[in-house]
Amino acid sequence: MEYLKRNKSIFIDKEAIFALLLCQEGLLYPVTHLMNEAEMNEVDSTGLYKQKSFPFSFILAPSGRRNEEVIKNAKEGEIINIICERKVYGYIKTSQTFKINKQERLFKIMSGDIYSPKAKQILHRLGNYAICGDYEIIISQDDIFHDRISKSKIPLLKKSLKIKKATSMVLNASPVTRIHEQIFRLILDNNELLVLMLLREQNEEFLDFEIRKKCLEYVIENFLPKNKVLIVPLDDIYLFAGAHGIILESIISQNMGCDKIMIGQNYPNLTLYYDNQKIHSIFDTAKDIKIKVKIVNEFFYCNECYGIVSNKTCPHGQHHHITYDSGFIQGMLKSGLIPPTLLVRKEVSAKILSHIFPDRFSSFIKKYSALFANRGIIEDINEEDFYIKIADLYKMDNLN
């Protein structure tokens, strides 16, 4: 460890670590290394790398006065430590350093949307100089990055289970709804494996990654063929911020061994437009991305059909439709209310409410637990059980 102390260091954040890990794992192929200045200029001007689509250059240009001084003065062959949150995660062997145009890079990453709050965050973390060279990021088992997505995991799983077709889907699941379940089942009708890339946001405002994953696992465990669904975390980093982020998600899915990626019609970065009476998307500009892209129709509950349907299958007007608006559902949960079970399963709502309002009804439960029907034996009711029993009471509406 003594040699680490003698090396100069650059300081980067978790987003940069995860980006470096994606490349190191081979999930950004054909990109396999940090690009030099010539490669950066070529990719940013053509959108191609080795004649294959890659939306913008893959470089490391961290902000900060200390980083700039280290990068500007780094010599070819010099070893530079890579530090994140006071921990050495690896090193880079310098081959070249060069100046970048921050505004141009921001424009490329954000697909032109340079005035949004996200764009301001990315601009703040961009430095004036980039460094390239061979690097290595080393992750321990107790580290936050240890459960990252792996290039070999899905191909090995396909081989062991003799699976031919695997489909990926990127989702937030905040929370997982009945619509999600409907889409999962539709995918599994025609595929042997569904890979759910669950987004792990850097600053999660409402539901953190662990509770979203817990709810998703509950649904898979109890209502889906669990051996056919795999959850992998995908950190929602700056690379995926703009409209071209969806191209990168497809490249990652392809490199993981998936044959198809499913994208919702309302996916934030899916740019749809009409030309000559034909619908187009950003994928029409992509070159040599072999993975098939399937856009899923929007689903809703129809009070005439008494079920979850889409515009293609429902003949009734919009006034009969109940949409699954995540903002509305989140608003109910934030207010401590159980969303209707036709939107979210009561068990999912119970997990979330007991998570965001811990010990909310502890004294209330002890006093009024006798009001709930039981199996004729003494039962201990926890916060999660309480919400489920309340939801069951709401369904007892057969009195006149």
Over the stretch 122-142, which tens digit does the pLDDT of each residue have? 999 999 999 999 999 998 776
Pick from 67, 89, 95, 87: which is nearest to 8 by CA?
A: 67
- What pTM does this model have? 0.86
The answer to whether 168 touches 234, Cβ cutoff 8 Å, is: no
pLDDT of residue 275: 45
Alpha carbon distance 161, 324 (integer Å)? 35
134: CB partners within 8 A, 6+ apart: 33, 92, 93, 95
283: CB partners within 8 A, 6+ apart: 246, 247, 250, 289, 293
Q: Which helix (H) or strand (E) holds 267?
A: none
pLDDT of residue 41: 97
Pick from 69, 74, 64, 68: which is nearest to 133 by CA?
A: 74
Q: What averages of pLDDT result for each successive group of 10 residues across the chain (400 residues)? A: 70 94 94 97 94 93 96 96 93 97 94 87 95 93 73 83 89 93 92 92 84 96 93 90 86 92 72 49 65 85 90 90 89 92 93 90 66 56 81 64
Alpha carbon distance 42, 327 (integer Å)? 41
Q: Which helix (H) or strand (E) holds 263?
A: strand 260-264
| Eight-class DSSP state of 291 | S
Single-letter residue type at 396: M
- CA-based R_g, the chain, Å: 24
In tens, the pLDDT along 231-254 reads: 999 998 999 988 788 889 999 999
H helices within the chain, ranges in order?
2-6, 14-24, 37-46, 65-73, 102-109, 117-125, 153-160, 178-190, 209-223, 245-256, 326-334, 346-356, 362-368, 383-395
